[in-house]
Amino acid sequence: MAPTYKTNGMPFRKLGPSGLRVPLFSLGGWLTIGGSVVGDPVKDIIKTAFDNGINMIDTAEIYSNGKSEEEIGRIIKELGLRRTDLIITTKLYFGTRTGPNDTGLSRKHIVEGMKESLERLQMDYVDVVFAHRPDNTVPMEEIVRAFNYVIEKGWAFYWGTSEWSAREIEEAHHVADKLGLIGPIAEQCEHNMFHRERPEKEYEPIYKKYGTGTTVFSALAAGLLTGKYNDGIPEGSRFANEPMFKGNAKSLQKKEGHAKVQKVRELTKLAKGLDTTPGALALAWVAKNTNTSTVILGASKPEQILENLKALEVLPKLTPQIMDKIEKVLGNKPKPEYPRGRQRLDISAKL
């Protein structure tokens, strides 16, 4: 018998303007599932997540060159999870091969890439497919038509964007509206205490206009916000092991890196006062943002999932006073955009 899914206290939010309800915390497979973690340990991670209310898993065709999707598909089968209990999202763009049509957002790659992802996942459909990057070499009409086709075929229920500019998302909506096609429902974007301009400022108009949802990645700034790098690079950590993070490791020796670590130290003190960890505080801070639909957790061990889910206990502790204290430590709140050249009509600055 399939294990029964229980929310176990996990809150759910609607994914943008769609009817899909996503858990506030989900699980991602970048660098970990099928990469640094293979075999039974993947099962431990996915089972721990599922048993604690995380029924949404994010992956991509490029993650560990297809291995992430394969491992997720295999483990879901082995655990006997019911497909209807799960929300599976994947992303297309980077491909698993290097041929001229094996990457990007041409209709050819979107359709072929989608079929290959489903094969690796051993599934008939994903819940959401994301365009992993914008592709300005392909007409927007071709991209929107291709994702619409994928949805009409039943291979995905919804589509979204990832790391697209607000202008590009807006263009996709214009094209979809003009042609009577389905537009994107969500943006998979980076949002954390050190990365705020795009999710908090640039996207503000599209949240308002299209109700765009966000599936947030790197909410821990790749682990930096847990405080694990406060006293150097621990063995076995992402900054120590992953070649693409060599630059991050080096930057911790520089002025900018020192300043970040100093902020994490101050956040650690603030977290202690709330009887929690800096990691849980950082995750709760992203989850508190009402434009966040789900925060995708990255985890190399099951214990990290349990630790990170403590963010749910921190959420109600984030009073306006605590949020102000965090803001003072960070000192990087994006400035709101004001219409240029127009006089203020009102001294209290409601323009």
Ligand X SMILES: NC(=O)c1ccc[n+]([C@@H]2O[C@H](COP(=O)([O-])OP(=O)(O)OC[C@H]3O[C@@H](n4cnc5c(N)ncnc54)[C@H](OP(=O)(O)O)[C@@H]3O)[C@@H](O)[C@H]2O)c1
- Residues with a catalytic annotation lie at 63
In 95-134, DSSP assigns E strands to: 126-131
Query: What single DSSP character describes residue 346?
Result: S
Query: What single DSSP character describes residue 198?
Result: I
Stretch that binds ligand X, among 104-112, 145-153, 254-262, 298-306 (CB under 6 A): 298-306
In 9-92, DSSP assigns E strands to: 12-14, 21-23, 25-28, 56-58, 87-92
Which x/- pattern over 193-232 shows residues binding ligand X (rule: CB under 6 A)? ------------------------xxxxxxx--x-x----
Which of 24, 86, 129, 299: binder of ligand X (CB under 6 A)?
A: 299
Which lies closer to ligand X via its Cβ, residue 138 or residue 191? Answer: 191
Which lies closer to ligand X via its Cβ, residue 56 or residue 326? Answer: 56
In angstroms, give the least distance from the CB of 37 to ligand X: 9
Determine contact, residues 54/297, Cβ cutoff 8 Å: yes
Task: Write out 309-327 in H/E/C secondary structure.
Answer: CCHHHHHHHCCHHHHHHHH
As given in the structure block, the two tokens for residue 305 are 């999932």
29 binds ligand X (CB under 6 A): yes
Which lies closer to ligand X via its Cβ, residue 29 or residue 183? Answer: 29
In angstroms, give the least distance from the CB of 301 to ligand X: 7
113 binds ligand X (CB under 6 A): no
Q: What values do phi and psi take at 202, rounded to 5?
A: -60, -40
As given in the structure block, the two tokens for residue 258 are 């020192």
State CA 260 to chain mean position distance.
22
Which lies closer to ligand X via its Cβ, residue 238 or residue 263? Answer: 238
Which lies closer to ligand X via its Cβ, residue 138 or residue 233? Answer: 233
279 binds ligand X (CB under 6 A): yes
As given in the structure block, the two tokens for residue 202 are 């640039």
The torsion defined by the Cα of 334, 255, 308 and 42, in degrees rounded to 10, comes to 120
Residues numbered 52 to 71 that lie near ligand X (CB under 6 A) are 58
Site residues (CB under 6 A) for ligand X? 28-30, 32, 58, 132, 162-163, 188, 217-223, 226, 228, 237-238, 279, 296-300, 304, 307-308
